[in-house]
């Protein structure tokens, strides 16, 4: 798989983030499916940087890599919400840590648990009330689900899910029509 496959995966799984509608997206890549995954990823680094997107390796093994693509300003803002800070504080995150410190702590928690810690939703831009609801209800009793399980503000979230779906559809159609990913990604 080459550039087109990489761009299609990004478009399908991260279009709302690439278009500035969502804080972050988490994608897993099977490195062996690409001719040279590291070179491919490095080739997009300038595009991501100039559009305000950072990439953090949350987990990596010989075959797979789990990457968090995020918009730094939006992520800082999301994690600074009082409800998000409360959840993170209960889980051992230090309020005075830098964003990179919080990302490293999340990475460590993932390695220790061998699974996704529930607070990962906060790093993906999910509303704190939905993350708290997920934790409290152990992933059950949600009012609806889509990009995440929803426990509050159902109507507004359904509208947001529709916007994300339309964005993804449009983004992927434009990629298939031959538009280049760097031209589609929006700077925010």
Query: In whole angstroms, what is the distance from residue 99 CA to residue 103 CA?
Result: 6
Closest by Cα among 81, 65, 84, 70 to 23? 70
pLDDT at 177: 95
Q: Can you give the pLDDT at residue 143?
A: 97
pLDDT at 162 over 90: yes
What does the domain layout of the chain look like in residue ranges?
3-183
Would you state the torsion angle of the CA atoms of residues 97, 100, 103, 104, taken in this order, to the nearest 10 degrees?
-90
pLDDT in tens, 60-110: 999 999 999 999 999 999 999 999 999 999 999 999 999 999 999 999 999
**Per-residue pLDDT tens for 78-92?**
999 999 999 999 999
d(CA 13, CA 7): 10
- Is the pTM higher than 0.85? The answer reads yes
């Amino acid at each position: 798989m080459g550039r087109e496959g990489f761009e299609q995966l990004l478009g399908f799984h991260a279009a709302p983030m690439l278009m500035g509608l969502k804080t972050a997206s988490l994608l897993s890549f099977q490195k062996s499916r690409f001719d040279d995954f590291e070179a491919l990823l490095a080739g997009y680094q300038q595009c991501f940087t100039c559009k305000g997107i950072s990439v953090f390796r949350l987990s990596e093994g010989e075959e797979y890599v789990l990457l968090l693509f995020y918009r730094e300003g939006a992520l800082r803002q999301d994690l600074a919400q009082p409800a998000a800070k409360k959840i993170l504080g209960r889980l051992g995150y230090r309020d005075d840590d830098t964003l990179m410190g919080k990302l490293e702590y999340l990475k460590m928690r993932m390695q220790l648990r061998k699974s996704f810690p529930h607070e990962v939703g906060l790093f993906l831009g999910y509303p704190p009330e939905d993350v708290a609801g997920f934790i409290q209800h152990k992933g059950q009793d949600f009012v609806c689900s889509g990009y995440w399980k929803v426990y509050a503000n159902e109507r507004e979230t359904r509208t947001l899910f529709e916007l994300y779906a339309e964005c993804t559809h449009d983004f992927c159609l434009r990629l298939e029509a031959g538009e280049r990913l760097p031209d589609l990604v929006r700077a925010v």
